[in-house]
Amino acid sequence: MTQQQTAEASNGLSPSGILGAVTDGQTYKNLLYLMIAPLLGMFYYIILVTGFTLGLGLSVIGIGLGILLLTLVCTRYAAGFERRVANRLLGTDIAAPDDLEQEENGIVALAKAYIGASSTWQGLAFVFAKFWVGIVSFMLLVATLGIAIELLLMPVFPNGTLDVTVSNWEVAQSFESTAEQVAAVPVGAVLTIVALNVLNAFANLNATIASALLGPTTGE
């Protein structure tokens, strides 16, 4: 870890760094990234499962090989899209890989190029993992920020704003009296700060994974 990274980490753990998550514009880009992750993850999962299932099942009659190749092509496009999203929302600077070497023209040469490129398999790993990342993102958003917003707005919406329920615990139904609802506001404010820092940390982990899997390989 460099001195700059150490300083940034120390600042992130300081009171000013923790409170700064509220006013930092990057925080809300991180939130947007995490909010769209479940939808993208589900979409990618459907494409991958459908493509590989049909491709392997029909490979004995030849058409399956074409489906498998098309699935790999779609995976590379998805990885490219994810790289641009990460650069735009997570603040990364990931360059596009340049290891797709097609020596001849034709579908066979293209297939060999896709299969031989390490970026194809790294992108496949990232796109497949996006489904699980989306699930974790959704759980963290609900369990942290969802509850915080519910508590913050309790006096205005006593019956709940988002109807957040965690493990059969209905947040809004736990604060019945006016005094309890007012007391929930400062708790919600503190939880909001905690939630933003937790979500920032998870977004930073996503940025690290994206940089490792979506950029040029070490040998390039």
Q: What is the pLDDT of residues 71-121, one digit of tens each?
A: 999 999 999 999 999 999 999 999 998 887 766 677 777 788 878 888 999
Domain ranges, ordered by start, for the chain: 25-214
At residue 203, the pLDDT reads: 97
At residue 176, the pLDDT reads: 73
Residue-wise pLDDT tens digits, 136-192: 999 999 989 988 988 888 888 777 667 777 666 777 677 777 887 788 889 889 999
Concatenated DSSP letters of the chain: --HHHHHHHHHHHSHHHHHHTTT-HHHHHHHHHHHHHHHHHHHHHHHHHHHHHHHHHTGGGSHHHHHHHHHHHHHHHHHHHHHHHIIIII---PPPP------S-SHHHHHHHHHH-HHHHHHHHHHHHHHHHHHHHHHHIIIIIIHHHHHHTTTT-TT-SS--EETTEETGGG--SHHHHHHHHHHHHHHHHHHHHHHHHHHHHHHHHHHHHHS--TT-
> In this model, does residue 12 exceed pLDDT 60?
no
At residue 2, the pLDDT reads: 40
More confident residue, 59 or 218: 59
Residue-wise pLDDT tens digits, 33-59: 999 999 999 999 999 999 999 999 888
> In this model, does residue 14 exceed pLDDT 80?
no
